[in-house]
Amino acid sequence: METPQEQIARKASVQMATGLADMEQNSRVQAAQEDLEWSAAERTANQRRASKMLDAEQQRRISELETSEQKTLKERSENQALAVQQMEDERTRRSSLTLEADLAAELEQQRNRKSSIELQEAERKSRIEEDGTKAKPSPLKGCFNALKSNVKSS
């Protein structure tokens, strides 16, 4: 049998081992709880960082879209101005072509009149040659010559 001192020593040893095990378990629980708290804090910080990064990325994309939209509007305005200038140039070109065509038509009419007059004169000369008679002077020609001489003398 055990002596009372051995019993006390054994009880003390068991209590000490139990106390050490409890302390070790408490330190593990406390370490695990601290790890959980740190993990939660890290998660929260990471979520905030990710949220800020997403907000910054979204703001960058918005500014890129605004810049792109401004460029598009500027290009559209430049294209409209260019189209207006091209239409104006085309209208000017067409009006000059119309003027040239009108001038060409007028010249053609003058040539036709001249050739018609020349043909009539040639026919008249050939008739005179066939008849063998001299052309009669026009009565208006005499009036015209008289007016001409009056203008020269005055």
pLDDT digits (tens, 9 = 90+) for 21-72: 999 999 999 998 988 889 888 999 999 999 999 999 999 999 998 998 898 8
Q: What is the pLDDT averaged over residues 97-116?
A: 85
- DSSP code for 56: H
How many CA atoms does the CB half-sphere of 141 hold within 13 Å? 4
Torsion sign over Cα 78, 80, 84, 90: positive
pLDDT in the model for residue 27? 92
Q: Give the whole-angstrom CA distance, residue 12 versus residue 19.
A: 10
Counting DSSP H helices and E strands in the chain, the numbers are 2, 0
Residue recorded with tokens 């500027």: 74
Q: Do 143 and 150 contact (CB within 8 A), yes or no?
A: no
Q: Look at the pTM and tell me if it is higher than 0.75.
A: no
Q: Give the whole-angstrom CA distance, residue 65 versus residue 59.
A: 10
Residues 64-73 pLDDT 10s = 989 988 988 8
Angle CA(10)–CA(14)–CA(19) in degrees, nearest 5? Answer: 145
Q: Using CA atoms in the order 81, 86, 87, 90, what is the torsion angle rounded to 10 degrees?
A: 160
